[in-house]
Structure 1
Amino acid sequence: MHTTTTSTTTTTTTTTTATTAAAAAAAAAAASTTTLLLLLLLLLLLLLLQLLLLLLLLLLLFLLPPPPPPPTTTTTTTTHHHHHHHHHHHHHHHHHHHHHHHHHHHHHSQ
């Protein structure tokens, strides 16, 4: 009789432990699902915010006029062009002067 009672008590304890473990697992699962849902919601919110920001940027770009070119680039191009032109002109002038002088000398001798 005594042994049977002990066995029954042991079985009851094991069943209670199993139920508690199951309950804990269920609670953990529920907690994990809620956290996952919250994380998903956060991600969705972030994505929506990013999309809104992109749309705003696009609207701003469309509304705003194109920015003027920086003055540094324009000055460099003008100076370079001027220098090149000056060099070419000088070379041409020198050649022309030499030719003219030679022609004049020939005319004088004749």
Structure 2
Amino acid sequence: MVIASQLTRELWPYTFQHAAWIFNWTLHADDVTTPNEIVAKRRQSLAPLRVYGVKGYIYHHLFKKDSSEQAIVGYHLGEAPDSKGWLFWVPDKGKVVKGASVKFNKNWFCGGGLFDVNTGW
């Protein structure tokens, strides 16, 4: 995840958090239930899952419709643990932000490279 995303080492805690989220929401070996299903007592959807490090455009309700700034660009770090939405690293601001109204560019990663869905690279 880290190598493919080309995000900085300072973001490793988010990498581990996202990896743990994936681990808890997926089946392992011969199991018929995920760790998350055991705790939540119901089947969960993988719909919130996004690729780590993928580019996203974070919209905010305070942006004016006539303003040139409609969104800020960030790179996906995982699901926000304390609320609905996702965490993003915003290089222009040098910080991690939370966003709920987001558009993901599923083929574009932090290093500026396109992801080929056919080859995985």
Q: TM-score range by the shorter chain?
A: under 0.3
Q: Does 1 or 2 have the higher relative contact order (CA < 8 Å, sep 6+)?
A: 2
Query: Could you tell me the TM-score, scaled by structure 2's length?
Result: 0.17
Query: Could you tell me the TM-score, scaled by structure 1's length?
Result: 0.19
Larger radius of gyration: 1
